[in-house]
Amino acid sequence: MFTFRMFSTSISIAGLLMLTACGREPDNQTQADPAQQPAASSTVATAEDCKLGVQLFSFRNELEKDLPGTLARVKELGINCIEPYSLHGRTAEQLRAEFDQAGLTVVSFHLGELFRGPPEEAVNVGRVLGAKQVGVAWLKESENDKVDEAKLMAAAERLNAMCPAAQAANMKVFYHNHGYEFHEGDAEGKMFDRFVKALNPECVVLQLDVYWTAFGGQDPVELLRRYGDRTWSLHVKDMPASYPVGPFDGSTWRGPLSDEAYAVVGQGKLDWPALFAAAEAGAVKWYILEDETSRPFENIAAAMPFLRSHGL
């Protein structure tokens, strides 16, 4: 959650194309008793302390083999805050205990299939994990699925339906873009603008994935300036200078991109000084790294000096 994200090796290719972190499918398990939510460790940062985080989909292969060990390695990168995309076969309470043990704070949660279930259940899972926002990052339901205005508006309706439960839990709901929201012939983003206007402004915020914005032929700096007051988080990743981009509707996407489609953050073609300036001028609270390559630990470690030099 391509970020068209995929994917467990135990599921079919068609199933993979329906997931992603940027809509990955978490295990649909919730806590039996809200009162049993574990207390956070005193060594765990608060969400307010978090500025830089990481989407755990980056480490999907490692997490399937060794969840505690992988979380420990994430902590060793110097990252204290995370955005999960799955419950990894555990209850929300059990996974929260794993995060607390590792000293990691959940600031955001990608719902996956929970997005299609009862809103109260989805929000409650996020609450137990400690998330300050929960949302969706993938709308395609089949390989050839086109993400048109009808699909976007249906997503807006479902996002808005989550608001009563989210507001009662002092949480936000978010939408994470994937590039297919901007079609050929709609370079000005009028369809996406209508979608944003349909979202409850008191409850639903945006998570701007700067990579997929650029992949769709859009300028992420301009988009962030346009929706800066609605954007609470960024997905941070970079693109090689020569990589081709252009508008698409999702119907011709055939799977995840190769490692060569990505660059170490700060070493690609995205305008990070302008992005950071626009983010700071807006409402962005969290910068969430995501590495969709086969070398997540190496690439994120290589990006950390650049990110630290920009105050993250």
User: What tokens were used for 43?
Assistant: 């060594």
User: What tokens were used for 218?
Assistant: 């859009």
End-to-end Cα separation, the chain, in angstroms: 23
Average confidence (pLDDT) over 16-22: 37
Backbone angles phi, psi at 38, to 5 degrees: -70, 150
- What integer pLDDT is reported at residue 21 of this predicted model? 42
Specify the CATH number for the domain of residue 68: 3.20.20.150
Closest CA to 208 of 273, 125, 258, 282: 282
Tell me how far apart the 2 most distant CA atoms of the chain are, in Å. Answer: 53
CA dist 147 and 240 (Å) reads: 26
pLDDT digits (tens, 9 = 90+) for 185-200: 776 778 999 999 999 9
In a domain, 19, yes or no: yes
In a domain, 36, yes or no: no
In a domain, 7, yes or no: no
- What integer pLDDT is reported at residue 40 of this predicted model? 37
Structural Rg of the chain based on CA atoms: 18
pLDDT digits (tens, 9 = 90+) for 263-312: 999 999 999 999 999 999 999 999 999 999 999 999 999 999 999 999 99
Q: Is this structure's pTM higher than 0.75? A: yes
User: What tokens were used for 26?
Assistant: 């978490």
In a domain, 6, yes or no: no
Q: Is 5:56 a contact under the CB 8 Å cutoff?
A: no
CA dist 181 and 158 (Å) reads: 17
CA dist 155 and 115 (Å) reads: 9
Backbone angles phi, psi at 14, to 5 degrees: -60, -40
CA dist 109 and 19 (Å) reads: 14
As a whole number, the mean pLDDT across the chain is 87
In a domain, 95, yes or no: yes
In a domain, 1, yes or no: no
- What integer pLDDT is reported at residue 153 of this predicted model? 96
Please give the tally of structural domains in the chain: 1
Pairing of strands 105-106, 108-110: unpaired
Phi-psi domain of 250 (left: phi exceeds 0; alpha: psi -120 through 50; beta: other): left
pLDDT digits (tens, 9 = 90+) for 129-171: 999 999 999 898 887 888 899 999 999 999 999 999 999 999 9
User: What tokens were used for 288?
Assistant: 């969430």
Domain range for 257? 13-26+45-309
In a domain, 67, yes or no: yes
Average confidence (pLDDT) over 247-259: 85
CA dist 269 and 160 (Å) reads: 35
Quick check: 124 pLDDT over 70? yes
